[in-house]
């Protein structure tokens, strides 16, 4: 590995053609992330024919550039207009948009860019040292472990927003139920589609998120009235994070990088889960807990680092085992196969130029994204200063295009409108939409793994907690479920004694 | 948060969950060794109903506040919840316009209906004149046409006009 370590990988990436491909990929990826209509997987699929002319290394570097560029770009619209460009940026809306409304959009965008760079760099270094070792550990996960992991995710993320845990769990359950709409992942039976052909493929994630966040936000702005949302004038130097904000972001970036990288190794929607998990962690341990949801910089720094690190981590199962766990990495795998490259344990031995070239491009790409995006922060931040009467119709049109463009279906636009109305009503009744997204994302993995685990164990429930890994996770689940209540009881009894 | 509002939301979620569980009866559960398509929705739906019942029950058992004991004051939060402000009237109008817009997309095409939609939406959100919304709409449509239709090749409904 030493022969093809950090230095040689960077040298491969710095060849002019690879450098250029990386740049184009990062720019296209950022655009894809910003525009809600086109996800990274679709954009990568569109670009694959072009990459065939570039050769395997440069072609794959371009595809990888789109992948991680979209991770960064997705946060821009989350922060500016409360519309997540892609699923991993949903959680950034919670504090990023709140910061924008307080005139700190520039700081939030800059921290997101720096966090993405730090996490990207960390994941590259970790990939170089631990790739083969970590690749094998991903194989320890069978259906029972995946199911337990998703249950752990539900329990840990049920306190995501710090409001009522019961309400968050309700929203997660609604998300899990919505994920069952469409064709059953195991038997192929159609469920909850009510005879609608367009619903057979399930509920479009983009339609739901643009509705719950974007359209609902427009309604909320309309309800508030224009005069209440005028922003304070912001001076140039205030566009960037101040010393205090940088200081507060440093530790969340570091934690987000490690957490995101580890979650990236796991199958499933790694980047999304990593960003949610990081937000939950930061909210739990922050000294400024009361600021979460109202514009805490940690709520941007942690998740934005985590989703980028997860994008890096997800490369390990892809490159070392040939296992894609996200739609975007599946397209990347398709691109590799079209270039005549078979990912797997022998890729590192047979094509080190490709392996380390792609990995090295992560580092270069993140640096490019930082250089490209930091000067643009001021321009982006000005978007929030556009009067709502002009900005909001633009947001609505982008939401419609996003929802429609996902499957070229007007049904999805109806779903988006319905989600917008429900999202607005939910806000009025203090129900947060973010946990619903957790349920929607975890639902398919949870159902498939539960049913597979039961089939493997021939119906024995004990199959769900037989392996040491499962036992360890169930213990954490029990502790996470019981501890908050126990703490509450202890706090109450201490308070009663003090009052007495 | 007003107690009445909490009760109402708990009740609505519970009814939603119960309705879903009833509908789920049409899907087979099969056996534990080979769980059918109805199993997972049944589990998630049951947890949803239990949680909603918990929220509702917790609220019903909550001791009434001093003000809450007076019947008039007790009804106030619910009344306040359903009171429609001018902004919300505009939201209802916007929803109606949105519905019309989606229906028109198939008939007169995406870009034409989009043109009218942006103008009306801009007016509903607060534009006082016609010129600026018309210019905005023309700009957005040109941009979207160039980016999504010409460049990214997303196919939008053309309608009868094109």
Put simply, the answer to whether B91 touches A455 (Cβ < 8 Å) is no
Give A488's contacts in chain B (Cβ within 8 Å).
none
Indicate the Cα dihedral angle A200, A418, B6, A169, nearest 10°.
40
Residues B17 and B73 both lie in one domain: yes
DSSP string, A352-373: HHHHHHHHHHHHHHHHHHHHHH
How far away is chain A from the Cα of B123, in angstroms, using its nearest Cα?
7
Q: How far is CA A342 from CA A12, A21, A53, B35, B93, in A?
A: 19, 21, 18, 36, 56
Asked, for residue B161, whether it belongs to a domain, the answer is no
* For chain A, percent of residues with pLDDT exceeding 70: 88
B-contacting residues in A 460-489 (Cβ below 8 Å): 460-461
Statement: residue A189 has pLDDT above 50: yes
- Is the minimum CB–CB distance between A226 and chain B shorter than 8 Å? yes
Residues B99 and B33 both lie in one domain: no
Average pLDDT value over all residues in chain A:
82
- Is the minimum CB–CB distance between A401 and chain B shorter than 8 Å? yes
| CB-defined contacts A:B, below 8 A | 160
pLDDT score, position A136: 65
A148-160 per-position pLDDT tens digit: 988 988 887 777 6
How far away is chain B from the Cα of A125, in angstroms, using its nearest Cα?
35
Of A124-133, A287-296, A369-378, the least confident? A124-133
Residues B91 and B130 both lie in one domain: yes
Asked, for residue B159, whether it belongs to a domain, the answer is no
Put simply, the answer to whether A225 touches B137 (Cβ < 8 Å) is no
Give B54's contacts in chain A (Cβ within 8 Å).
166
Nearest partner of A314 among A330, A299, A334, judged by Cα: A330
DSSP string, A92-118: HIIIIIHHHHTT-HHHHHHHHHHHHHH
Residues B109 and B94 both lie in one domain: yes
Contact present, A115 and A301 (Cβ < 8 Å): yes
Q: Which residues contact B146 (CB under 8 A, 6 or more apart)?
A: none
Statement: residue B142 has pLDDT above 90: yes
Asked, for residue B156, whether it belongs to a domain, the answer is no
B7-31 per-position pLDDT tens digit: 788 899 999 999 999 999 999 988 8
Please name the residue of chain A whose CA is at the shortest distance from the CA of residue B28.
A189
Asked, for residue A145, whether it belongs to a domain, the answer is yes
Put simply, the answer to whether A169 touches B47 (Cβ < 8 Å) is yes
Asked, for residue B67, whether it belongs to a domain, the answer is yes
Average pLDDT value over all residues in chain B:
84
Tell me which residue range forms the domain holding A114: 2-466
- Is the minimum CB–CB distance between A229 and chain B shorter than 8 Å? no
> Cα separation of A224 and A220, whole Å?
6
Neighbours of B128 (CB within 10 A): 8
Nearest partner of A450 among B45, B48, B46, B36, judged by Cα: B36
> Cα separation of B121 and A306, whole Å?
37
pLDDT score, position B149: 82
Give A460's contacts in chain B (Cβ within 8 Å).
32
Residues B99 and B78 both lie in one domain: no
Contact present, A176 and A383 (Cβ < 8 Å): no
Q: Which residues contact A245 (CB under 8 A, 6 or more apart)?
A: A104, A107, A111, A297
Asked, for residue A483, whether it belongs to a domain, the answer is no
Largest CA distance in chain A: 79
Residues B99 and B122 both lie in one domain: yes
Statement: residue B1 has pLDDT above 70: no
Asked, for residue B7, whether it belongs to a domain, the answer is yes
Domain finish residue from B48, B82, B116? B82
* For chain A, percent of residues with pLDDT exceeding 90: 16
pLDDT score, position A453: 93
Statement: residue A1 has pLDDT above 50: no
B58-111 per-position pLDDT tens digit: 888 876 655 555 545 445 555 666 667 777 888 999 999 999 999 999 889 999
Domain finish residue from B29, B48, B82? B82
Asked, for residue B114, whether it belongs to a domain, the answer is yes
Put simply, the answer to whether B136 touches A459 (Cβ < 8 Å) is no
Residues B72 and B104 both lie in one domain: no
Give A186's contacts in chain B (Cβ within 8 Å).
37
Compute the average pLDDT of residues B116-143.
92
Residues B34 and B48 both lie in one domain: yes
Compute the average pLDDT of residues A136-162.
79
Using the CB atoms, write b or e for A87-110: b if 16+ within 10 Å. bbbbbbbbbbbbbbeebbbbbbbb
Put simply, the answer to whether B94 touches A219 (Cβ < 8 Å) is yes
Asked, for residue B56, whether it belongs to a domain, the answer is yes
Q: How many domains does chain A have?
A: 1
User: Which of B34, B125, B148 has the CB atom closest to A393's CB atom?
Assistant: B125
A220-255 per-position pLDDT tens digit: 888 876 555 555 555 556 667 888 888 999 999 999
Put simply, the answer to whether A401 touches B148 (Cβ < 8 Å) is yes
Put simply, the answer to whether B102 touches A454 (Cβ < 8 Å) is no
Of A255-269, A340-354, B140-154, the least confident? A340-354
Asked, for residue A472, whether it belongs to a domain, the answer is no
Put simply, the answer to whether A455 touches B44 (Cβ < 8 Å) is no
Q: Which residues contact A490 (CB under 8 A, 6 or more apart)?
A: none
Q: 3-state DSSP call for residue B155?
A: coil
Asked, for residue A30, whether it belongs to a domain, the answer is yes
Predicted-complex ipTM score: 0.87
Q: How far is CA B43 from CA A229, A457, A470, B24, in A?
A: 43, 19, 20, 11
A27-60 per-position pLDDT tens digit: 888 877 776 556 677 778 777 777 877 888 888 8
Put simply, the answer to whether B148 touches A388 (Cβ < 8 Å) is no
Compute the average pLDDT of residues A175-193.
89
∠ CA B36-B42-B43 to the nearest 5 degrees?
Answer: 105
Please name the residue of chain A whose CA is at the shortest distance from the CA of residue B22.
A192
Put simply, the answer to whether A397 touches B114 (Cβ < 8 Å) is yes
Nearest partner of A36 among A217, A306, A220, judged by Cα: A217
Nearest partner of A248 among A95, A376, A368, A102, judged by Cα: A95
Residues B95 and B136 both lie in one domain: yes
The DSSP H or E segment spanning A232 is none
Region of residue B159 (phi > 0: left; psi between -120 and 50: alpha; otherwise: beta): left
Q: How is residue A127 written in tokens?
A: 């990939």
Tell me which residue range forms the domain holding B146: 86-151
Asked, for residue A35, whether it belongs to a domain, the answer is yes
B-contacting residues in A 157-186 (Cβ below 8 Å): 164, 166-167, 169-170, 173-174, 176-177, 180, 184, 186
Q: Which residues pair with A191 in a beta bridge?
A: A182
Put simply, the answer to whether B13 touches A170 (Cβ < 8 Å) is yes
Asked, for residue B39, whether it belongs to a domain, the answer is yes
Asked, for residue A487, whether it belongs to a domain, the answer is no
A379-438 per-position pLDDT tens digit: 777 776 788 888 889 889 988 988 888 788 899 999 999 999 999 999 888 888 888 888
DSSP string, A380-422: HHHHTTS-HHHHHHHHHHHHHHHHHHHHT-HHHHHHHHHHHHH
Q: Which residues contact A374 (CB under 8 A, 6 or more apart)?
A: A110, A113
Q: How many domains does chain B have?
A: 2
Q: Which of B29, B31, B38, B40 to mutate to test the interface with A (most CBs of A within 10 A)?
A: B40
| Sheet strands (E) in B82-157 | none
Residues B72 and B118 both lie in one domain: no
Put simply, the answer to whether B102 touches A417 (Cβ < 8 Å) is yes
Asked, for residue A252, whether it belongs to a domain, the answer is yes
Asked, for residue A341, whether it belongs to a domain, the answer is yes
Residues B28 and B73 both lie in one domain: yes
Confidence tier at A2 by pLDDT (50, 70, 90): very low
Residues B132 and B144 both lie in one domain: yes
Domain finish residue from B82, B104, B122? B82
Statement: residue A176 has pLDDT above 90: yes
């Amino acid at each position: 590995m030493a022969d093809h370590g950090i230095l040689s990988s960077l040298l491969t990436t710095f060849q002019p053609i690879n450098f250029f491909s990386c740049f184009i990929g990062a720019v296209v990826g950022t655009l894809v992330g910003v525009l809600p209509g086109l996800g990274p997987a679709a954009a990568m699929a569109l670009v694959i024919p072009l990459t065939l002319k570039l050769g395997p290394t440069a072609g794959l570097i371009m595809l990888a550039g789109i992948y991680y560029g979209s991770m960064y770009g997705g946060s821009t619209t989350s922060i500016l207009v409360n519309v997540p460009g892609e699923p991993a940026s949903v959680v950034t809306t919670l504090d990023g948009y709140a910061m924008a409304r307080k005139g700190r959009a520039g700081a939030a965008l800059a921290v997101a860019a720096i966090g993405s760079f730090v996490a990207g760099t960390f994941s590259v270094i970790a990939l170089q040292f631990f790739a083969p070792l970590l690749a094998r550990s991903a194989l320890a996960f069978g259906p029972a472990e995946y199911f337990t992991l998703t249950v752990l995710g539900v329990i840990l993320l049920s306190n995501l927003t710090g409001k009522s845990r019961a309400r968050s769990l309700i929203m997660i359950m609604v998300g899990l139920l919505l994920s069952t709409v469409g064709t059953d992942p195991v038997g192929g039976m159609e469920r909850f589609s009510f005879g609608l052909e367009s619903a057979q493929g399930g509920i479009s994630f983009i339609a739901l998120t643009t509705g719950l966040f974007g359209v609902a936000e427009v309604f909320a702005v309309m309800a508030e009235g224009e005069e209440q949302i005028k922003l304070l004038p912001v001076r140039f130097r205030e566009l960037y994070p101040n010393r205090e904000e940088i200081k507060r972001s440093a530790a969340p970036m570091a934690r987000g990088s490690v957490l995101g990288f580890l979650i990236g190794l796991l199958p499933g929607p790694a980047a999304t889960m990593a960003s949610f998990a990081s937000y939950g962690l930061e909210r739990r341990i922050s000294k400024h807990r009361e600021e979460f949801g109202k514009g805490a910089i940690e709520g941007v720094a942690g998740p934005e680092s985590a989703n980028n690190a997860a994008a890096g981590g997800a490369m390990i199962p892809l490159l070392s085992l040939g296992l894609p766990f996200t739609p975007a990495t599946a397209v990347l795998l398709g691109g590799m196969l079209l270039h005549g490259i078979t990912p797997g344990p022998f890729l590192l031995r047979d094509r080190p130029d490709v392996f380390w070239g792609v990995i090295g491009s992560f580092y270069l790409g993140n640096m490019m994204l930082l250089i490209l995006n930091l000067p643009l922060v001021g321009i982006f931040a000005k978007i929030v200063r556009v009067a709502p009467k002009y900005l909001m119709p633009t947001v609505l049109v982008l939401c419609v295009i996003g929802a429609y463009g996902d499957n070229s279906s007007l049904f999805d636009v109806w779903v988006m409108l319905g989600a917008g109305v429900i999202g607005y009503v939910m806000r009025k009744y203090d129900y947060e939409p973010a946990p619903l997204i957790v349920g929607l994302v975890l639902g398919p993995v949870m159902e498939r793994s539960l049913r597979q685990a039961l089939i493997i164990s021939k119906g024995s429930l004990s199959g769900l907690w037989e392996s040491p890994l499962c036992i360890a996770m169930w213990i954490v689940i029990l502790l996470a479920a019981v501890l908050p209540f126990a703490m509450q009881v202890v706090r109450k009894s201490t308070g009663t004694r003090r009052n007495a | 948060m007003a107690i009445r509002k909490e009760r109402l939301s708990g009740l609505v979620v519970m009814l939603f969950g119960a309705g879903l569980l009833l509908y789920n009866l049409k899907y087979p559960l099969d056996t534990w060794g080979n769980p059918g398509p109805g199993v997972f929705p049944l589990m998630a739906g049951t947890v949803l109903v239990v949680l909603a019942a918990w929220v509702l029950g917790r609220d019903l058992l909550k001791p009434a506040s001093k003000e809450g004991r007076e019947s008039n004051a007790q009804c106030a939060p619910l009344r306040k919840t359903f009171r429609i402000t001018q902004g919300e009237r505009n939201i209802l109008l916007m929803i109606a316009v949105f519905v019309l817009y989606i229906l028109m997309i198939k008939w007169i095409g995406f870009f034409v209906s989009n043109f009218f939609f942006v103008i009306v939406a801009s007016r509903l959100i607060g534009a006082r004149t016609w010129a600026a919304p018309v210019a905005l709409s023309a700009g957005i449509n040109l941009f979207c046409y160039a980016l999504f239709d010409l460049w990214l090749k997303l196919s939008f409904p053309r309608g009868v006009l094109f």
